Amino acid sequence: MCFNIAIPTTDINTYATRYNKISPVSASINNLKDKLTPYYFVSGFSHPSLAVVKHDGIFLCNWGLIPFWIKDKAAANDIKTKTLNAVGETVFEKPSFRKSIVSLRCLIPVNAFFEWRDVNKVKYPYCITSKENELFSLGCIYDTWTDDTTGEILNTFSILTTEANPLMEKIHNLKKRMPLILNVEDEAKWLDPTLSKDDIQRLIKPFDEKLMSAYTISRNANSSKADRNHQEILEPVVYQGLD
């Protein structure tokens, strides 16, 4: 699962430098100008508007995929809470995702994501980052939905998930899932709209745990009613007796 992420990076030039080799990010960077919010902790259930990298540039999309075939706003609002994630093992089968996974794939650059470890029914929050890149890429799919009543156009996305690697099995120890993290050398492949089904499936796999770092943070992160969007939420907190 992946419902909570951190993207405090708001410098559009950072995105251009990081992704311009695989997408014409510089040509589309004005899509982000003055529109990026620093997120130290953001939940997908708030359906934030976030920067995603597509094969033809970088754009803002709302988290929670709304399939193109949804009929009205009520149905759109209902389904977007159920499509924050797409299970990698079944993404080609599900009606909400099977069109997008074929040719509408994108990346969301993040600085970190969050998961919880259950120890004797106590939940300990972890912040997980990349050892290699300040901004690393989660594999996503997207779609565009039009409200026929108002003409409103919504661009939305979903983060794919895979089975957990050993590190994430220890942290996300109940459901044992993790977001799809793309190796840098696979990012351009993921964006290629002509990629074959077999090649897409080969990219949907757990990330190498040796390239990841994880540490515990304040249990204030456990409360969805609290304001978690502040820099202090990313600070390490050590819990006695927790290995």
Q: How many C-beta atoms surround the C-beta of residue 72 within 10 A?
A: 11
- In this predicted structure, the answer to whether residue 159 has a pLDDT above a threshold of 90 is yes
Q: How far is CA 5 from CA 38, 198, 228, 234, 241, in A?
A: 11, 29, 11, 11, 27
What is the reported pLDDT for 233?
A: 97
* Pairing of the two strands 153-163 and 85-87: parallel
pTM score: 0.97
Answer yes or no: are the C-beta atoms of 182 and 107 closer than 8 Å: yes
Q: How far is CA 146 from CA 43, 88, 96, 114, 153, in A?
A: 24, 26, 15, 32, 4
Sign of the Cα torsion 126, 218, 108, 159 reads positive
| Summary mean pLDDT of the chain | 96
What is the reported pLDDT for 241?
A: 82
What residues does 27 pair with on adjacent strands? none
Q: Name the 3-class secondary structure at 231.
A: helix
What is the reported pLDDT for 141?
A: 98
Which pLDDT band, with edges at 50, 70 and 90, does 1 fall under? confident
Domains of the chain: 4-234 (3.90.1680.10)
What is the reported pLDDT for 33?
A: 83
Answer yes or no: are the C-beta atoms of 64 and 156 closer than 8 Å: yes
